């Protein structure tokens, strides 16, 4: 048996390669092997399947094997494990997982779309029952069966990444008690700390327990079944553990035949999906790529990326030319009714990549303030000092975040400067946006900051100053008294904006000290800032994003 | 009396100039005259104020005169009509509309933000009572008073532009019978005809009567009050008429002193907001600008544009340099629960501007198909043949349209090619988008069309062929029989995709004739298209956007 094109793997990249190869070549024979029971399933939908938001298994599986046969004439063979590749003979050895029999199958071109698997680190007790991962529809079905047996009352989710947080929401929505244990100081590390803090607070407000900076030291159980998770921050009783601490590429087949590997053991590929062997191609979660902004090797596995890489690999292996330009690390997450998205580089990533970055946060409404359903969003733009080149953006809030994130994706992909964003003609009508578009505004404020017209301070930095007993500065809240009375930053002093100039002598002692001006969203603080500067307060600055974006305690 | 900076006009541009001038210069004196009772009101919100969606007048008025004084130290003088400018003496003559007294006020720099007014063409009977326009909060208050007196049972809206359609929705939501009379063959002329047809159908489905290609010939009434609208398509009984046929810039003051005027009598300005007089600046609806894509003069008055122009003018008149890059003609509209947005050039505009454009429509879901609330959108991308430069985009559907429109705004502003959009790393998670992002998909399909890998036909062109008795082609619906039975294009023939190759002899007579392949969204039609091409059907093509985007009759 021999296929002109043989594909290993049947989720996003594998099925995309199959379908696109067929469109490019109606006559070649195409075979696809997968270890799984299913092909073409929506892995990103699994948390919502657990939550019952997606109600049937059928909805998750985009195509069945017979559909890929019918529409694209692809021989799909499920429960087939490819054990080895012989690149000289152009054959693979395949084990039928049901019959246990092996056979050799020939190929003209081979495409590796083997994906990635969940990490299961050697933590003491990890082999016990009740410790699961979530990667396939079957994994989800197993967990759903436990849920329907009422066997899960309390779940510990190890890992506060995207999947972990999405699963936490979905368990919580089912009324299951949930604890997220994250080793790092914050959940969702691709986000800036201020934003992650808001998401963390919002999880807690929705009854999800979140432990950050907590390392899992071991699992304990009874009768081989997990009952306790031991962490550096205490022991948690549980009857179910979901491990969600990351994935590793399935690159062993590639490694065994000496294909070049890249970052974190990914299969190394050129932008066209070629591996180091001329007849072997690769796409999807097993494949390394590059970062659009840094140009450096990157591996940020996503179903959306797998689809694009699969299309490119199919074009390449059928003799056309195409290139995948790389990843921006764009992600978006729903945390109950709070949303957050990010793209490009974060501040730390930007510094690590050798940039000298500057950022600014702005809080505004997503729609006309008078239109029902308008909600706030806080936009952080990150740019390179000097050149003004946009490096990244992060947005969170109860309003629409994915819209401005996608606009930033285009801007980053095309090498925009922040200033370019300040006057673009974005779509405006009251049900959709504000007359001063949030991105126009955020870009304008960052341009002001870069040009020295405005000095800002982020929540994180101001919080650090407040914790520093040697800080000699002042937190000056310039909202009206009733606003200030409701909630304010501990230790702040209130002089309403309207009285600022007449009462300026009260703060005369701070002329050469830092004064952080606070208002609700940052607008009045800017007006106050300009006045203090005029009066010679050389270290005046405003709290970026306003009190609305302050993630720490208020009183 | 003399102001360092004097502003005429107090809506979006005028108040923006005032506030930004103050931020740039804390010491100068700033005066602002307006004929209106209000400043800084949200003109775009007026239709929703009429509909009761926005419930109080206060919500519409962003700032009161005293707030502009308090926050920005601007002297705001309402109900003051500037009658003349003396550019030599640097003075204006102002009439107090309440006292009837005139006075002369001096200025250092003058900013014209006089806006635009509704057109009232000399149609016979137009002077009658009950014929209104909607431009100011007062206009809306007058209409609201009539509504609350139950004096409006049936309204005729003359003009099917954005305001006309938004008002129609808002009247209809109040249970008022509504007829829209549009002189052109379609409503909302900035949209392609296929899209306008969908919006028109949706208005009808929501009980709004729409007459296109109907010219108003006169108004008739009883006792001086309008009761009938005479149109070329018949007489409509009514008790209220809203004229919404466009606006004209308030440029008379500028004209009278010989300032250069531009397109449609706008005040001509350079990108920095300078008029032809060195001490006079302009911004907002009275001001001409240029089109970002064509580089030619353009005038597309919008509150969002006025804000940006106002900021630029303030920077210029205070001695800094900034430029407004121009308009893309971006607009977005809500028509009940159907949405539509557009940016850049339409096909006709592109041809008129000297481009050789190509377009393609694609229908897809806005979110993962399995996620609750996912809805379809149809994306039309327009590009220049040969170069592949993106020229425009139009999107309609029940799904989210403003998000991809804003992404296209960035792409157009930065001179993107269609191909650039095909592999950008847009935000993906099931609650927000699809793994194959709608813009990635639309760009890929247009690239296929441009490279000759796919031949498509739009609804409009196919509909014309169907109306042509000499057309010798075939409309071949390749959906499954149950789908075809529910609704299909009149005259189409059904061969399900799965039977296409086995029954190919049935259509052998069409090998050199046009065959338009139909499926639901366009995906299967593409697979069918590839097979027909392989079998030598050289004029096979697929219906772009699928039957979902077909705006004409089905049976």
Q: Tell me what the mean pLDDT of segment B281-302 comes to.
A: 98
Find the CB nearest B425 among A339, A409, A433: A409
Best of B429, B434, B478, B533 to substitute, by most chain A Cβ atoms within 10 angstroms, is B429
Instruction: Give how far B436 is from chain A: nearest CA, Å.
Output: 6
- Side-chain-facing half-sphere of A5: CA atoms under 13 Å: 32
Find the CB nearest A431 among B26, B71, B334: B334
In degrees and rounded to multiples of 5, residue A156 shows phi and psi of -105, 125
pLDDT attached to residue A546: 97
Tell me the pLDDT band of A538, cut-offs 50, 70 and 90.
very high
Write the CA distances from B239 to A535, B141, B176, B206, B219, integer angstroms. Answer: 61, 17, 11, 21, 11
A325 touches chain B (CB under 8 A): yes
The number of angstroms, rounded, from the C-alpha of A360 to the middle of its chain's C-alpha atoms is 20
pLDDT attached to residue A63: 84
Q: Which residue of B has its CA nearest to A324?
A: B423
Q: Tell me what the mean pLDDT of segment B341-366 comes to.
A: 98
A407 touches chain B (CB under 8 A): yes
Q: Do A331 and B406 touch (CB under 8 A)?
A: no
Q: Tell me what the mean pLDDT of segment B105-130 comes to.
A: 97
Whether residue A549 is predicted with pLDDT greater than 90 in this model: the reply is yes
In degrees and rounded to multiples of 5, residue A102 shows phi and psi of -110, 155
Q: What is the DSSP string of A349-418?
A: HHHHTT--EEEEEEEEESS-TTSTT--EEEEEEEEETTT-BEEEEEEEESS--HHHHHHHHHHHHTT-BH
Instruction: Give how far A431 is from chain B: nearest CA, Å.
Output: 7
pTM, two decimal places: 0.98
A72 touches chain B (CB under 8 A): yes
Number of H helices, E strands in chain B: 16, 29
* Paired tokens of B337: 């629960």
Q: What is the DSSP string of B366-428?
A: SS-TTSTT--EEEEEEEEETTT-BEEEEEEEESS--HHHHHHHHHHHHTT-BHHHHTT-----
Q: Check: CB of residue B358 under 8 Å from CB of residue B450.
A: yes
Please tell me the distance from the alpha carbon of residue A251 to that of residue A284, in angstroms, as a whole number: 11
Interface of A with B in 289-318 (CB under 8 A): 292, 302-308, 311-312
Q: Around Cβ A445, how many Cβ atoms within 10 Å?
A: 26
Instruction: Give how far B430 is from chain A: nearest CA, Å.
Output: 6
Please tell me the distance from the alpha carbon of residue B332 to that of residue A370, in angstroms, as a whole number: 18
Q: Check: CB of residue A122 under 8 Å from CB of residue A258.
A: no
Q: Tell me what the mean pLDDT of segment B274-286 comes to.
A: 98
Residues of A in contact with B440 (CB under 8 A): 308
Q: Check: CB of residue A206 under 8 Å from CB of residue A194.
A: no
Please tell me the distance from the alpha carbon of residue B115 to that of residue B302, in angstroms, as a whole number: 10
Please tell me the distance from the alpha carbon of residue B311 to that of residue B295, in angstroms, as a whole number: 21
Please tell me the distance from the alpha carbon of residue A159 to that of residue A334, in angstroms, as a whole number: 17
The number of angstroms, rounded, from the C-alpha of B87 to the middle of its chain's C-alpha atoms is 36
The contacts of residue A278 (CB under 8 Å, 6+ apart) are none
Q: What angle do CA B65, B68, B71 make, to 5 degrees?
A: 145
pLDDT attached to residue A62: 81
A48 touches chain B (CB under 8 A): yes
B52 touches chain A (CB under 8 A): no
Whether residue B128 is predicted with pLDDT greater than 90 in this model: the reply is yes
Residues of A in contact with B427 (CB under 8 A): 330-332, 341, 343, 402, 405-406, 409
Q: Of A389-393, A493-497, B69-73, give the lowest mean pLDDT range.
A: B69-73
Q: Do A425 and B71 touch (CB under 8 A)?
A: no
Give the number of A-B residue pairs with CB atoms closer than 8 Å.
Answer: 242
Q: Tell me what the mean pLDDT of segment A399-413 comes to.
A: 98
Q: Around Cβ A356, how many Cβ atoms within 10 Å?
A: 11
The contacts of residue A12 (CB under 8 Å, 6+ apart) are A40, A43, A284, A303, A306, A307, A310, B435
Whether residue A172 is predicted with pLDDT greater than 90 in this model: the reply is yes
- Domains in chain B (CATH in brackets) are 2-115+248-317 (3.50.50.60), 131-245 (3.50.50.60), 338-450 (3.30.390.30), 456-549 (3.40.250.10)
* Paired tokens of B326: 């121009």
Q: Do A428 and B330 touch (CB under 8 A)?
A: yes
* Paired tokens of B460: 């409009």
Instruction: Give how far B101 is from chain A: nearest CA, Å.
Output: 33
Q: Check: CB of residue A406 under 8 Å from CB of residue B406.
A: yes
Find the CB nearest B327 among A302, A407, A425: A425
Q: In what order do the strands lie in the sheet with B376-384?
A: B331-335, B338-344, B390-397, B376-384, B357-365
Interface of B with A in 426-465 (CB under 8 A): 426-433, 435-437, 439-440, 444
pLDDT attached to residue B553: 92
Q: Check: CB of residue A418 under 8 Å from CB of residue A443.
A: yes
pLDDT attached to residue B41: 87
pLDDT by residue (tens digit) across A477-518? 999 999 999 999 999 999 999 999 999 999 999 999 999 999
Please tell me the distance from the alpha carbon of residue B50 to that of residue B44, in angstroms, as a whole number: 11
- Locate tokens 């220049």: which residue? B384
The contacts of residue A145 (CB under 8 Å, 6+ apart) are none
Instruction: Give how far A48 is from chain B: nearest CA, Å.
Output: 8
Write the CA distances from A85 to A95, A103, A274, B164, integer angstroms. Answer: 12, 12, 16, 67
Tell me the pLDDT band of A41, cut-offs 50, 70 and 90.
confident
Q: Which residue of A has its CA nearest to B535?
A: A26
* Paired tokens of A411: 């801007």
The contacts of residue A420 (CB under 8 Å, 6+ apart) are A390, A411, A443, B413, B414
Q: Which of A193, A446, A190, A208 is nearest to A341 (CA)?
A: A190
Tell me the pLDDT band of B42, cut-offs 50, 70 and 90.
confident
B110 DSSP assignment: E
Q: Around Cβ A446, how many Cβ atoms within 10 Å?
A: 29
Q: Dihedral, CA atoms, B162, B164, B167, B169, nearest 10 degrees?
A: -80
Please tell me the distance from the alpha carbon of residue B555 to that of residue B466, in angstroms, as a whole number: 14
* Paired tokens of B132: 């209104």
Residues of B in contact with A426 (CB under 8 A): 304, 330, 406, 409
Please tell me the distance from the alpha carbon of residue A540 to that of residue A518, in angstroms, as a whole number: 11
Q: What is the DSSP string of A29-89?
A: -EEEE-SSS-SSB-GGGHHHHHTTSS--HHHHBS--HHHHHHHH--EEE-SEEEEEEETTT
In degrees and rounded to multiples of 5, residue A165 shows phi and psi of -70, -40
Q: Which residue of B has its CA nearest to A331?
A: B427
Instruction: Give how far A221 is from chain B: nearest CA, Å.
Output: 35
Residues of B in contact with A368 (CB under 8 A): 42, 44-45
Instruction: Give how far A85 is from chain B: nearest CA, Å.
Output: 30
Q: Check: CB of residue A95 under 8 Å from CB of residue A204.
A: no
Please tell me the distance from the alpha carbon of residue B328 to that of residue B319, in angstroms, as a whole number: 27
Beta strand B30-33 with B75-77: parallel, antiparallel or unpaired?
parallel
Instruction: Give how far B306 is from chain A: nearest CA, Å.
Output: 9
Helical axes A523-534 vs B65-72, angle rounded to 10°? 40
Interface of A with B in 339-378 (CB under 8 A): 339, 341, 343, 368-372
pLDDT attached to residue A409: 98
Q: Do B424 and A432 touch (CB under 8 A)?
A: no
Q: Do A420 and B405 touch (CB under 8 A)?
A: no
Instruction: Give how far A468 is from chain B: nearest CA, Å.
Output: 33
Whether residue B221 is predicted with pLDDT greater than 90 in this model: the reply is yes
- Side-chain-facing half-sphere of B483: CA atoms under 13 Å: 16
Q: Do B26 and A530 touch (CB under 8 A)?
A: yes
Instruction: Give how far A130 is from chain B: nearest CA, Å.
Output: 27
Q: Tell me what the mean pLDDT of segment A517-521 comes to.
A: 97
pLDDT attached to residue B61: 87
Q: Check: CB of residue A71 under 8 Å from CB of residue A187.
A: no
Whether residue B184 is predicted with pLDDT greater than 90 in this model: the reply is yes
The contacts of residue B522 (CB under 8 Å, 6+ apart) are B362, B363, B445, B542, B543, B544, B545, B546
Whether residue B398 is predicted with pLDDT greater than 90 in this model: the reply is yes
Q: Do A406 and B409 touch (CB under 8 A)?
A: no
Mean of pLDDT over chain B: 97
Q: Around Cβ B219, how many Cβ atoms within 10 Å?
A: 23
Instruction: Give how far B292 is from chain A: nearest CA, Å.
Output: 9
Please tell me the distance from the alpha carbon of residue B401 to that of residue B416, in angstroms, as a whole number: 20
pLDDT attached to residue A4: 98
Find the CB nearest B435 among A307, A403, A415: A307
Q: Which residue of B has its CA nearest to A59?
A: B370
B356 DSSP assignment: -
Q: Do B304 and A527 touch (CB under 8 A)?
A: no
Taken as a whole, chain A contains a residue count of 555
Q: Which residue of A has its CA nearest to B66?
A: A498
Q: Do A427 and B331 touch (CB under 8 A)?
A: yes
The contacts of residue A426 (CB under 8 Å, 6+ apart) are A407, A433, A437, A439, A440, B304, B330, B406, B409
Q: Check: CB of residue B230 under 8 Å from CB of residue B216.
A: yes
pLDDT attached to residue A42: 87
The contacts of residue A409 (CB under 8 Å, 6+ apart) are A328, A330, A343, B407, B424, B425, B426, B427
Find the CB nearest B372 among A53, A368, A435: A53
Q: Do B428 and A44 touch (CB under 8 A)?
A: yes
Q: Which of A549, A555, A552, A546 is nearest to A485 (CA)?
A: A555
């Amino acid at each position: 048996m021999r296929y002109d094109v043989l594909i290993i793997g049947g989720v996003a990249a594998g099925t995309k390669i199959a379908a696109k190869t067929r469109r490019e070549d109606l006559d070649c024979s195409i075979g696809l092997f997968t270890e799984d029971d299913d092909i073409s399933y929506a892995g990103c939908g699994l948390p919502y399947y657990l939550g019952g938001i997606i109600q049937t298994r059928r909805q998750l599986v985009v195509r069945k094997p017979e559909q890929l046969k019918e529409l694209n004439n692809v021989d799909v063979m499920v429960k087939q494990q490819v054990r080895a590749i012989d690149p000289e003979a152009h054959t693979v050895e395949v084990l039928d997982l049901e019959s246990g029999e092996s056979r050799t199958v020939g190929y003209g071109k081979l495409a590796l779309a083997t994906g990635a698997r969940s990490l299961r680190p050697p933590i003491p007790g990890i082999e016990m029952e009740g410790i699961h991962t979530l990667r396939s529809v079957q994994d989800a079905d197993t967990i759903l069966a436990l849920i329907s047996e009422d066997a899960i009352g309390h779940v510990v989710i190890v890992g506060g990444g995207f999947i972990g947080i999405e699963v936490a929401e979905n368990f919580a929505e089912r009324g299951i008690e949930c604890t997220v244990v994250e080793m790092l100081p914050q959940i969702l590390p691709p986000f800036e700390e201020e934003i992650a803090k808001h998401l963390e607070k919002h999880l807690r407000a929705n009854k999800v327990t979140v432990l950050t900076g907590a390392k899992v030291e071991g699992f304990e159980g009874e009768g081989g079944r997990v009952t306790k998770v031991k962490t550096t921050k205490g022991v948690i009783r549980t009857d179910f553990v979901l491990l969600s601490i990351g994935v590793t590429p399935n690159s062993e087949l590639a490694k065994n035949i000496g294909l070049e590997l890249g970052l974190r053991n990914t299969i190394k590929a050129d932008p066209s999906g070629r591996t180091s062997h001329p007849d072997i191609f690769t796409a999807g979660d097993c494949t390394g790529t590059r970062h659009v902004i840094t140009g450096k090797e990157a591996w940020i596995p996503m179903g959306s990326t797998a689809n694009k890489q699969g299309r490119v690999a199919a074009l390449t292996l059928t003799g056309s030319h195409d290139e995948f330009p790389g990843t921006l690390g764009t992600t978006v997450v729903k945390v109950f009714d709070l949303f957050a998205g990010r793209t490009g580089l974060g501040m730390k990533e930007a510094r690590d990549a050798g940039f000298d970055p500057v950022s600014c946060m702005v809080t505004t409404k997503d729609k006309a303030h008078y239109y029902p359903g308008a909600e706030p969003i806080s936009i952080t733009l990150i740019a390179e000092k000097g050149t003004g080149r946009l490096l990244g953006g992060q947005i969170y809030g109860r309003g629409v975040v994915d819209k401005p994130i996608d606009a930033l994706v285009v801007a980053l992909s095309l090498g925009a400067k922040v200033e370019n964003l300040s006057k673009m003609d974005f779509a405006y009508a009251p049900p959709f946006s504000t007359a001063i578009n949030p991105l126009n505004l955020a870009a304008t404020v960052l341009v002001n900051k870069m040009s020295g017209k405005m000095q800002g301070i982020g929540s994180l930095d101001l919080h650090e100053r407040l914790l520093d007993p040697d800080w000699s500065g002042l937190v000056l809240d310039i909202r009206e008294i009733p606003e200030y009375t409701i909630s304010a930053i501990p230790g702040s002093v209130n002089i309403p904006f309207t009285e600022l100039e007449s009462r300026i002598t009260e703060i005369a002692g701070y002329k050469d000290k830092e004064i952080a001006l606070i208002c609700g969203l940052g607008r009045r603080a800017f007006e106050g800032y300009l006045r203090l500067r005029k009066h010679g307060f050389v270290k005046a600055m405003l709290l970026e994003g306003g009190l609305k974006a302050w993630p720490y305690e208020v009183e």
